[in-house]
């Protein structure tokens, strides 16, 4: 963004205006995160909370509210409750001069920090200057941006409601087969009977700054593909690399380790590469990919997966163990009905996401004007 600020604003170097307060916080390794717990963990991931802990001794509210920066992801978070800090790449930033924290958060978020892959980005952030208008003007600007940001948040909530609806529909239609009694009485097939698979584990591709997109276990979340971190292999290596099979649109991606058991449908790519710790599953016809994805994400099936896993610190599952797991298979017509509902909801979610992207662009433009003193 432009570094031209109003003449009556003070301007400081980053190191003069902002302190790295990370050392004030206890940190928790990702392997120790809980899915549910008493206290939130804030890390560099895109989700506001990365997980939870029950260890009260790790929680700090000394500088609340806090600004957290993802050194690898370039994500800024404004955290208003006491929290535990994730250990990998999360930094807490504190003002050293008269700066309203919400104003500072919005200003830092407006900076264009170019991606350097999975490198650390704090060194690039420190190259910026920080404007310091009067405190009343800071609060006025932060309040305007708060109202604009609330609109974006409501659109995101609408997309989340659609996702919650899908999970509720799945349980309404198939919840009986993911209980102990229903599972035992259902018709079941092993995963190896239900799918063909593409597996590139054990091979490490040469990476590049651009080329053919590489989807790794880090991109596969619970039900969706995260574009970050963006990784590629050289286009000229593609044909020689893809010797074990070509992933196709809507293949079910399953992470076998670090993390174990994340599942998502592969999106639409002209060409794509899948990385280590990741398997692409393709139905042989007895299950739809949409049903298979939601089934593998269900807590009951996740327990079956983890029961066959190994590893004390990092859980993983061997191919033989994974493919021996038996999955309940209801009538295909019923599965197709769920798949149709899935794609209807997905179309709605995509519309909300497109609207959110437009709102984000408008918010960025408003931020630029705000920090040039034009609002």
**Tokens, residue 117:** 């892959």
Residue 350 has what pLDDT?
A: 80
Residue 1 has what pLDDT?
A: 43
Neighbouring C-alpha atoms within 13 Å toward the C-beta of 207: 16
3-state class (DSSP) for residue 153:
helix
Query: Is the bond preceding residue 179 a cis peptide, omega within 30 degrees?
Result: no
Other beta carbons less than 10 A from residue 141's beta carbon: 23
For helices 332-370 and 135-174, the axis angle rounded to 10 degrees is: 180
Burial class from Cβ neighbours inside 10 Å (0-12, 13-18, 19+) for residue 270 reads exposed
Residue 304 has what pLDDT?
A: 97
Q: Which helix (H) or strand (E) holds 91?
A: strand 90-95
- Which of 91, 123, 76, 96 has the alpha carbon at shortest distance from 17? 96
Stated pTM of the model: 0.65
> Average pLDDT by consecutive 10-residue portion of the chain (375 residues)?
80 96 93 92 92 93 89 94 92 96 96 85 95 96 92 73 89 96 97 94 84 93 89 92 91 94 94 91 98 97 96 88 97 97 88 71 84 87
- Which of 356, 357, 362 has the alpha carbon at shortest distance from 156? 356
Other beta carbons less than 10 A from residue 115's beta carbon: 15
3-state class (DSSP) for residue 219:
coil
Which domains, ranges and CATH numbers included, belong to the chain? 10-130 (3.90.220.20), 133-172+331-375 (1.10.287), 187-329 (3.90.220.20)
User: Does residue 35 contact residue 54 with C-beta atoms inside 8 Å?
Assistant: no
Residue 122 has what pLDDT?
A: 94
List, in sequence order, the alpha helices (H) in 3-100. Answer: 14-17
Largest CA distance in the chain: 75
- Which of 219, 206, 202 has the alpha carbon at shortest distance from 277? 202
Residue 127 has what pLDDT?
A: 95
**Tokens, residue 91:** 């930094």
Cα separation of 264 and 218, whole Å? 12
Cα separation of 74 and 87, whole Å? 15
What Rg value do the Cα atoms of the chain yield, rounded?
Answer: 23
Residue 320 has what pLDDT?
A: 94
Q: Can you tell me which residue has the tokens 């999975």? A: 118
Other beta carbons less than 10 A from residue 350's beta carbon: 12
Cα separation of 88 and 126, whole Å? 19
**Tokens, residue 331:** 């009538």
């Amino acid at each position: 963004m432009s570094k031209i600020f109003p003449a009556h604003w003070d301007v400081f170097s980053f190191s003069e205006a902002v302190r790295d307060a990370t050392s004030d916080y206890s940190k928790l390794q990702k392997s120790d995160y809980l899915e549910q717990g008493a206290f939130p963990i804030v890390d560099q991931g895109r989700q506001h909370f990365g997980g939870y802990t029950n260890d009260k001794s790790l929680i700090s509210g000394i500088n609340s509210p806090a600004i957290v920066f993802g050194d690898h992801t370039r994500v800024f978070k404004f955290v208003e409750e006491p929290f535990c800090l994730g250990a990998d790449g999360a930094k807490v930033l504190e003002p050293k001069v008269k700066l309203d924290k919400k104003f500072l958060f919005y200003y830092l978020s407006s900076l264009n920090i170019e991606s350097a892959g999975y490198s650390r980005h704090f060194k690039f952030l420190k190259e910026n200057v920080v404007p310091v208008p009067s405190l009343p003007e800071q609060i006025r600007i932060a309040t305007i941006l708060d109202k604009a940001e609330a609109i974006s948040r409501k659109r995101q909530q609408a997309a989340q409601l659609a996702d919650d609806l899908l999970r509720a529909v799945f349980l309404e239609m198939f919840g009986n087969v993911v209980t102990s009694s229903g599972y035992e009485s259902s018709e079941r097939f092993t995963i190896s009977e239900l799918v063909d698979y593409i597996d590139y584990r054990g091979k490490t591709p040469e990476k590049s700054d651009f080329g053919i997109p590489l989807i790794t276990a880090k991109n596969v979340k619970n039900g969706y593909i995260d574009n970050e971190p963006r990784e590629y292999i050289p286009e000229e290596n593609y044909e020689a690399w893809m010797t074990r099979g070509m992933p196709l649109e809507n293949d079910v991606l399953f992470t076998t380790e670090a993390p174990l058991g994340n599942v998502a449908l592969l999106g639409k790519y002209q060409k794509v590469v899948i990385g280590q710790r990741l398997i692409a599953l393709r139905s042989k016809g007895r299950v739809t990919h949409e049903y298979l994805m939601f089934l593998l994400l269900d807590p009951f099936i996740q327990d079956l997966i983890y029961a066959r896993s190994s590893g004390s610190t990092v859980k993983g599952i061997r191919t033989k163990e994974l493919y021996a797991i038996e999955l309940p298979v209801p009538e295909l017509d019923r599965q197709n009905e769920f798949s149709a509902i899935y794609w209807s909801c997905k179309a709605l979610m995509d519309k909300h996401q497109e609207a959110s992207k437009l709102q984000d662009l408008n918010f960025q433009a408003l931020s630029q004007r705000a920090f040039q003193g034009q609002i």
